[in-house]
């Protein structure tokens, strides 16, 4: 089998890039030792814990990291990139590109949307459980602070979301060094305990995990629901590939992060084997007394970094959803003058902040919140497996038996983890499911409503060729100036133009029909950004193409058209059609989908703001559209 790979950017990564990878990519999975081993082992605590059970849990954790993170994501799925970009939506676009039938494309699209919805659930839960687990270290360092854990966590979370509008550029430079210190400390503390109890290294053998499953059977299945917490954040390795390329992420994981995490988990196991009472907080009890308060501070910094990665990821995924037609237009603010990917979306930030605070006050501890965590992560894993099977089979030309067999095996593992977490639905696992179902309803309703709106618009619009053919005989008065008409379909006359002719009886000397097309690639090269054609005297058609990782800026693009159009921003007027959506006599959407679509449409950001058009140069002409 051969795999076609994209150009390996950063084949010899610099130290600075490796530090950046540590800070951005590994924050989530790097803070899992705070709660993963404790949550897994406490399931055995009621009847006393034996060394074989400790070794069995450690073996499960190690092999989960090795198989799911290293083999599945780092070595396999990261090979499938959409022009350098990764993530569930990028994988979905690749898979859809390989599908020839409409039905199969819809199924693949649904899988991708579900994965994106679960990612948003992960983005709400991660800050809550990470910050709570870090601040809970105060109970170990100073038991009197136990009653202040939730208020302190809430203050940290409010501060975290409050600074999002300022961008992550300045803070981001601190992420790498902090996470470098974090992983070094993780490894050192674990190694200290391993040296004192080297027998714990026997857990590196998968036989102990197998023996645990054989001995405890159904109970071991329940334990898997907590073990999966050690691989939360694995999807971030793939999602952040577009920022750094494959080699830095791969090298950092295999040569540094995986060894440090393994040492820490083994060290926690060694500590509990020698001091069973340490199960109450094995991570913080690894540290000597004098180091515990600094560890709480360091852990808090690390969890803030982990939360920041998910928050920034939620902004990026939201913009991708908007460009792919799954979300209405929202305000996208760029927080950096040099980095296109650093964006801030106020609506998403508010949604995440409220959701995280609700979880903190509702669950009040990381132990209780762990029940809600695994569902979102394992669900995303399953979606990635399905999409990867299609991509590796059709794009990389793997034999059917190889693609289905390998990723089918991974899917079964992920499904087992998912089923184990499903047992915790009454305890909190319903949280990410409810969020995912709500987002799925919103996204599918918006996509379906847009399709119906476009079909109705085509039905009521006039094809462009007949209009241009009749224009010379119509004796329409041409007035000085330039008019820019935005249209969703370059082959039809913009509705705003027809209304302008109907009411004002004039046409500008220079007319631009501008269509913004969203492509299924992350970024469109400058050479393919614009397509200009002259349709008649002074009438031009301009097609602007943007990738799903880009934000449109129509005035800037028009200014760069050159002498072909001679665009003067001070002489241009933008004519926009403002649709007033109303229910039709025979609606093609169910009542609840129609209601959702109308609510989202009425609250969507205006085209003026979204396309960055100067508001003082916009003329809006309204029209009622029934759907």
pLDDT at 167 over 80: no
Classify 126 in phi/psi space as left (phi over 0), alpha (psi -120 to 50) or beta: alpha
Mean pLDDT of 598-622: 85
Please answer whether residues 2 and 395 qualify as being in contact, where contact means their C-beta atoms are separated by less than 8 angstroms. no
Same domain, residue pair 214 and 293? yes
pLDDT digits (tens, 9 = 90+) for 366-393: 777 877 778 888 899 999 999 999 999 9
Report residue 336's pLDDT band, with 50, 70 and 90 as the boundaries: low
What share of the chain has pLDDT > 90, as a percent? 27
Same domain, residue pair 350 and 225? yes
Whether 447 is covered by a domain: the verdict is no
Same domain, residue pair 273 and 344? yes
Same domain, residue pair 336 and 478? no
User: Tell me, what CATH number does 409's domain have?
Assistant: 1.20.1740.10
Same domain, residue pair 406 and 460? no
Whether 281 is covered by a domain: the verdict is yes
Mean pLDDT of 144-151: 83
Same domain, residue pair 404 and 467? no
Name residues whose C-beta falls within 8 Å of residue 81's C-beta, 6 or more positions apart in sequence: 5, 6, 90, 241, 242, 246
Whether 120 is covered by a domain: the verdict is yes
Q: What are phi and psi of 43, to 5 degrees?
A: -70, -20
Same domain, residue pair 154 and 104? yes
pLDDT digits (tens, 9 = 90+) for 493-534: 888 888 888 888 888 888 999 999 888 777 888 888 999 988
Domain boundaries, position 539: 456-626
What is the signed CA dihedral for 355, 361, 366, 372, rounded to 10 degrees? -50
42-46, 270-274, 520-524, 537-541: range with lowest mean pLDDT: 42-46
Using CA atoms, how far apart are residues 413 and 351, in angstroms rounded to an integer? Answer: 32
- Give the DSSP letter of residue 627: -
Which ranges constitute the DSSP H helices of 461-516?
464-470, 495-504
Q: How far is CA 138 from each of CA 132, 148, 152, rounded to the nearest angstrom?
A: 10, 9, 10
Q: Choose from 47-51, 99-103, 270-274, 505-509 the range with maximum mean pLDDT.
A: 270-274
Same domain, residue pair 502 and 589? yes
Which ranges constitute the DSSP H helices of 34-87?
36-41, 51-64
Whether 11 is covered by a domain: the verdict is no
Same domain, residue pair 284 and 371? yes
pLDDT at 259 over 90: yes
Name residues whose C-beta falls within 8 Å of residue 527's C-beta, 6 or more positions apart in sequence: none
Report residue 2's pLDDT band, with 50, 70 and 90 as the boundaries: very low
Report residue 69's pLDDT band, with 50, 70 and 90 as the boundaries: very high
Same domain, residue pair 217 and 354? yes
Q: What are phi and psi of 623, to 5 degrees?
A: -150, 140
pLDDT at 4 over 50: no
Whether 598 is covered by a domain: the verdict is yes
If you average pLDDT over every residue of the chain, what do you get? 84
pLDDT of residue 605: 85
In this prediction the pTM is 0.81
Report residue 584's pLDDT band, with 50, 70 and 90 as the boundaries: low
Identify which has the larger pLDDT, 243 or 106. Answer: 106
pLDDT of residue 8: 46
Signed CA dihedral, 243, 249, 251, 255: sign only: positive
477-486 and 343-344: which strand pairing? unpaired
Using CA atoms, how far apart are residues 271 and 194, in angstroms rounded to an integer? Answer: 8
Of 385, 412, 428, the one marking the end of a domain is 428
Of residues 333, 194, 176, 354, the one with CA closest to residue 268: 194
Whether 437 is covered by a domain: the verdict is no
Of 428, 445, 465, the one marking the end of a domain is 428
Same domain, residue pair 345 and 416? yes
- Could you give the number of structural domains in the chain? 2
pLDDT at 309 over 60: yes
pLDDT digits (tens, 9 = 90+) for 395-436: 888 999 999 999 999 999 999 999 988 888 888 888 888 888
Same domain, residue pair 374 and 486? no
pLDDT at 339 over 70: no
pLDDT of residue 626: 66
Please answer whether residues 322 and 330 qualify as being in contact, where contact means their C-beta atoms are separated by less than 8 angstroms. yes
Identify which has the larger pLDDT, 3 or 557. Answer: 557
Mean pLDDT of 180-194: 95
Whether 446 is covered by a domain: the verdict is no
Using CA atoms, how far apart are residues 162 and 473, in angstroms rounded to an integer? Answer: 60
pLDDT digits (tens, 9 = 90+) for 81-98: 877 777 888 889 888 888
- Give the DSSP letter of residue 85: B
Please answer whether residues 86 and 382 qualify as being in contact, where contact means their C-beta atoms are separated by less than 8 angstroms. no
Whether 312 is covered by a domain: the verdict is yes
Please answer whether residues 575 and 617 qualify as being in contact, where contact means their C-beta atoms are separated by less than 8 angstroms. no
């Amino acid at each position: 089998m051969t795999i076609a790979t994209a150009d390996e950017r950063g084949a010899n990564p610099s130290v600075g890039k490796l530090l950046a990878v540590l800070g951005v990519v590994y924050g989530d999975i790097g803070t899992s030792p705070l709660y993963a081993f404790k949550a897994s082992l406490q399931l055995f605590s009621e009847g006393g814990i034996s060394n074989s059970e400790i070794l069995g849990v450690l073996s499960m954790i190690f092999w989960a990291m090795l198989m799911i993170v290293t083999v599945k994501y780092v070595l396999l799925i990261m090979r499938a990139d959409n022009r350098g970009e990764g993530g569930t939506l990028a994988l979905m676009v690749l898979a859809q590109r390989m599908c020839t039938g409409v039905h199969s494309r819809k199924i693949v699209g649904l899988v991708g949307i579900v994965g994106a919805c679960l990612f948003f659930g992960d983005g709400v839960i991660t800050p809550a459980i990470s910050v709570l687990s870090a601040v809970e270290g105060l109970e170990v360092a100073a038991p009197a602070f136990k009653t202040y854990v939730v208020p302190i966590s809430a203050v940290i979370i409010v501060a975290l979301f409050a600074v999002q509008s300022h961008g992550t550029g300045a803070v981001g430079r601190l992420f790498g060094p902090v996470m470098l210190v974090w992983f070094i400390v993780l490894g050192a503390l674990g190694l200290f305990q391993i040296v004192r109890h080297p027998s714990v290294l026997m857990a590196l053998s998968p036989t102990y995990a197998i023996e645990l499953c054989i001995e405890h059977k159904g109970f071991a299945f329940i334990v898997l629901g907590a073990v999966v917490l050690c691989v939360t954040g694995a999807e971030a390795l793939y999602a952040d590939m577009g920022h750094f390329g494959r080699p830095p992420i791969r090298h950092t994981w295999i040569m540094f992060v995986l060894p440090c995490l393994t040492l820490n988990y083994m060290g926690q196991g060694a500590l509990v084997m020698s001091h069973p009472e340490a199960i109450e907080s094995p991570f913080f009890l690894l540290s000597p007394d004098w180091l515990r308060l600094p560890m709480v501070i360091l852990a808090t910094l690390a969890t803030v970094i982990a939360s920041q990665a998910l928050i920034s990821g939620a902004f990026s995924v939201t913009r991708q959803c908007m460009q792919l037609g799954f979300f209405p237009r929202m305000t996208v603010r760029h927080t950096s003058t040099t980095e296109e990917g650093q964006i801030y979306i106020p609506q998403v930030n508010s949604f995440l902040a409220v959701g995280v605070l609700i979880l903190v006050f509702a669950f009040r501890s990381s132990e209780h919140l762990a029940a809600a965590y695994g569902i979102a992560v394992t669900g995303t894993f399953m979606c990635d497996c399905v999409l990867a099977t299609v991509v590796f089979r059709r794009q990389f030309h793997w034999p059917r038996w190889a693609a289905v067999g390998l990723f089918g095996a991974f899917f079964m593992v992920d499904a087992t983890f998912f089923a184990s977490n499903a047992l915790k639905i009454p305890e909190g696992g319903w949280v990410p499911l409810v969020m995912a179902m709500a987002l799925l309803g919103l996204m599918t309703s918006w996509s379906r409503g847009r399709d119906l709106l476009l079909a109705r618009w085509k039905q009521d619009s006039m094809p462009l060729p007949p209009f241009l053919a009749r224009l010379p005989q119509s004796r329409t008065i041409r007035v000085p100036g330039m008019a820019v008409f935005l249209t969703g379909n370059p082959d039809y006359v913009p509705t705003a133009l027809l209304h302008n002719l109907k009411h004002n009886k004039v046409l500008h000397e220079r007319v631009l029909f501008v269509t913004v097309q969203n492509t299924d690639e992350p970024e469109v090269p400058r050479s393919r950004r614009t397509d200009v054609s002259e349709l008649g005297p002074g009438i031009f058609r301009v097609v602007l193409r943007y990738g799903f990782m880009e934000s449109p800026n129509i005035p800037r693009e028009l200014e760069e058209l050159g002498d072909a159009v001679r665009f003067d921003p001070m002489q241009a007027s933008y004519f926009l059609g403002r649709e007033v959506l109303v229910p039709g006599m025979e609606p093609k959407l169910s009542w609840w989908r129609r209601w959702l679509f109308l609510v989202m449409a009425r609250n969507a950001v205006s085209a003026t703001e979204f396309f960055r058009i100067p508001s003082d140069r916009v003329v809006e002409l309204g029209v009622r559209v029934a759907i």
